[in-house]
Amino acid sequence: MAQSDTVDRILDAAEELFADRGFAETSLRMITSKAGVNLAAVNYHFGSKNALIQSVFARFLTPYSATLDREFDELEARPGDRVLTVEEILGAVTGSAVRMPQRNERGISIFMRLLGLAYTQSQGHLREYLEEEYREIFSRFMSLLKQATPQLTSVDRYWRIQFMLGATAFTMSSSDALRDILHTKTGVETPIQEIAARLIPFLAAGMQAPDLMMVPRPEATVSANRAAD
């Protein structure tokens, strides 16, 4: 068996098991059993479970980051001196993901589930790895989003990005189930590209919605008017 084939089989098995069971609950022996390799092969190619987890993410994120970077270049090279809109930025982010070559039909949903787990389970090494390894493309995304939302404070923008990531992770990681439910109820087939396209205006509207914390509540307005009288 070629080394590249062995590595791919280990990564395929690891990403499916991590997505289905979680990182802590998945042992190396489970992975080797599913991949049909011995434990020595995992140690030889990856060295540790943490390194294997990082490699699972790198297999998707490294080519995705390069694709997204090119997409941002193309958007910024369009004629006209203007700031990219939130819709354009998010369109590049989601579009680059769904256009990525996938090893199987569950590729996007599996990866989005893994991304959610990276922030809900105790994987400090993984967050540090992602922040360091993909700092450049993440900083570029954040800079573009900041330019597109000058009306937001840094705190507002932070929370809205978290809400946006949560909605995206749930929708895309559950896309198979959501498509099945819609098909059962209506008979409508929904490709993953359409889900991403429907998600963009929803996320963009949330990023740009008025800050309700700064809008006076009706009862507060009434009390202020009475006090003025």
- The overall average pLDDT reported for the chain is 87
Same domain as 21, residue 128: no
Same domain as 130, residue 199: yes
Same domain as 73, residue 43: no
For residue 216, being part of any structural domain is answered with no
Q: Kindly report the CATH number assigned to the domain that includes residue 26.
A: 1.10.10.60
For residue 227, being part of any structural domain is answered with no
For residue 17, being part of any structural domain is answered with yes
Transcribe 203-222 into DSSP letters.
HHHHHHS--GGGSPPHHHHH
Rounded Cα distance, 55 and 126, in Å: 10
3-state DSSP helix/strand/coil % of the chain, to nearest 5: 75, 0, 25
Expressed as residue numbers, the domain containing 189 is 58-210
Rounded Cα distance, 177 and 128, in Å: 31
Q: Kindly report the CATH number assigned to the domain that includes residue 121.
A: 1.10.357.10
pLDDT in tens, 81-136: 789 999 999 999 988 888 877 676 677 888 888 888 887 776 788 888 999 999 99
For residue 25, being part of any structural domain is answered with yes
Same domain as 68, residue 42: no
Same domain as 186, residue 96: yes
Q: Which residue has the higher pLDDT, 8 or 229?
A: 8
Same domain as 72, residue 119: yes
pLDDT in tens, 147-194: 999 999 999 999 999 999 889 988 988 888 999 999 999 999 999 889
